[in-house]
Every structure is written in C-alpha cells, then in structure tokens.
Amino acid sequence: MNNFKALRVHQVEKGTEYRFDTISINELSEGEVVLKVAYSSINYKDALAITGKGKIMRKFPLVAGIDVAGTVVSSSDNRYQEGDEVLVVGCGIGENFDGGYAEYARVSANSIVKLPTGLTLRESMAIGTAGFTAALAIQRMVDNGQTPEMGEVLVTGSTGGVGSLAINMLNKAGFDAVALTRKAEQKDYLIGLGASRILLADEVDLGKRPLERAEWGGAIDNLGGDTLTWLTRTVKPWGNIGSIGLASSHKLDTTVMPFILRAVSLLGINSTEVPTALREKVWQRLATDLHPDVDAITNREVALDDLPAVMPDYIDSKVTGRTVVRIS
C-alpha cells in the first residue's frame, strides 16, 4: 500500500500545530481493520484540536478527525471482510488514536459499526458524532420514561450540528421540539427542521430561585453553565435533561431540589464509551425511524485540503448545521 496524505496535529514548543503529512499505514495507531476513507465530518472537538484552542488529543503526532466512514481494505478480525462499508464515530479516534482526516485509517474492530441498510457512507458522516450523540440522548431519555405527552422538549445550541439533528429527530419521534437560539435570522431554518417554535436566548429570564415555573417536558442541552442550571429548575416533574455539551461553560450551579422535589433526571451523554449493543441500536434507528433529513442539515461539503480554513468558524460559532468532509 502506497503512502498517503493525512492531516496530523503535532506538539510544538508553544502548543500544537497541524501539518499535511505523507505517511504509511505502519505509522497509524494499532488496529485490526484498515479502511480506505471515503468521508469524515467536522465536529467542535475537531476544530478545537486543529486550531489548538482545546486540549483534545492525548498523544502526538495524531491524525485528527473523530468520525470516519469508508470501505474495508484488510482485516485480521473475521467480523469484517474486504469491501465492507463501515463507520466509526467517537471511540477515541482523533483523541487517543489516529482519526478520519486521512486517505486511510486503521481502527479497532470493536469500534466499528457496519453501515446500516438505509444509509450511504456520505449520509453516515452527515450524521456523524453529532447525530449519533443527539440520537443517543433521545434513546436514553425515552428509556428513562420520556414521552411526548410530558410536554415540549427544549433544545439549546439549536443551530449547531447536534442541536439541528436533535430537533429534526425529536420531531420524527413525535415530540414537540422548541429551539433555543441567539440567531433570530435562523428561524426559518429551525422551523424547516421541525421545531414547533423558536425561543430567543436574549428574551429568556434565567431566574435565581432553586425552582422556577416548570415549563419543559425535557431538554437536550449543548451549552452547560447558566443555561443548564436554568433547565434543571424549569423541567417538569419526571422530565429528563440530556447533557451533551459545554459550549458556554463546564460549570453547573444548582441545588438538589429539582432532583428531589420534581424527580428530574440529568443524563450525561457520552458518545465515546457506549456499549456495543446500544451503539448498534442507535445506528439502526438513525437508518430507520430517526433517519434525519441530512440534505436540509448538511449545508457544506469540503475536501481534506480545505479543512484548516473552515475550522475557525466552529470556534467562533459561525456554523449552522453539518459539514461533510470528502476524503476520496
């Protein structure tokens, strides 16, 4: 197998820097399965890693990209054969192991999901970690008793990849999804995804009491900080909050009262360490009843060479929806 191009992050004296390197398969992290990469995607973690704005990677140099989809070239694990179409999202790639921003990837067999019937490789990366995480939140909320009859589900950070996909999939699952956003100009986009209504962040009074008026049947939160604190105080009895991100803050300043007096559940959503059976179940749902409207949510496709130029937009919160990365 010839050498190939990879976008790797290197540690340097003042931090990190990205480089386009020409490498061989033997320079990649250990793994039982080699893939010819077709597509990847861009997530906030990827932008943090490449721009050096966040400590995402645990070793260097490392190929960036926490998502990958492609075709098996070789495998020492009999679960996968040459020609199989597969995907990997999360599972430590792009953080602890070489990721998807390269023409070839070598991955652990245990991290792989066979491409479900009903999805193309490109669609799987339009969904990517963002969509998988949103679907995982919905699955965990439903498993914990969330029903549409409990009331509206508020989605924060709603114009981003996770938020957009969450709104779209909540709508498909029969929930009334309310979009919380600072971007009033994106109202038509959010309504088109299935939001029942729009709530502008600048018009929300977060309050200060341990319990505020119960408004939401549940919530999916991408922000953390004061917004998540407010959600714990305003979700209705027995409602669930899927905590996904910390785009605003990693802090949470609340009391035990919502959890004791209203039986609110705060569910931590970790897309990396997911049991295999649950991971496969969620991807089957993404290919069937939760299949998102990827054409409406994916508004950009870029080539491998173009990645560094678009990453600052993610840091500056200028991105709506999802971006697919075309590798080969």
Give every residue of the chain whose pLDDT is below 70, as ranges.
Answer: 1
pTM for this model (two decimals): 0.94
Domain-located, residue 289: no
What is residue 255's predicted lDDT score, i.e. its pLDDT? 95
Question: For residue 293, with 0-12 CB atoms within 10 Å meaning exposed, 13-18 middle and 19 or more buried, which class applies?
Answer: middle
* Domain-located, residue 286: no
What tokens were used for 230? 């407010």
pLDDT given for residue 93 in this prediction: 96
- State the pLDDT at residue 153: 98
pLDDT at 1: 67
Which residues form the domain of 173? 129-268
The predicted structure's pLDDT at residue 318: 86
Alpha carbon separation from 55 to 16, 48, 98, 244 (Å, rounded): 10, 7, 15, 18
For 70, 308, 314, the CA distances from 285, given in Å and listed in that order, are 20, 33, 28
Q: Are residues 152 and 223 in the same domain?
A: yes
* CATH code, domain with 307: 3.90.180.10
Looking at the structure, tell me whether residues 248 and 298 fall in a common domain: no
> Is beta strand 153-155 parallel, antiparallel or unpaired with respect to 33-41?
unpaired
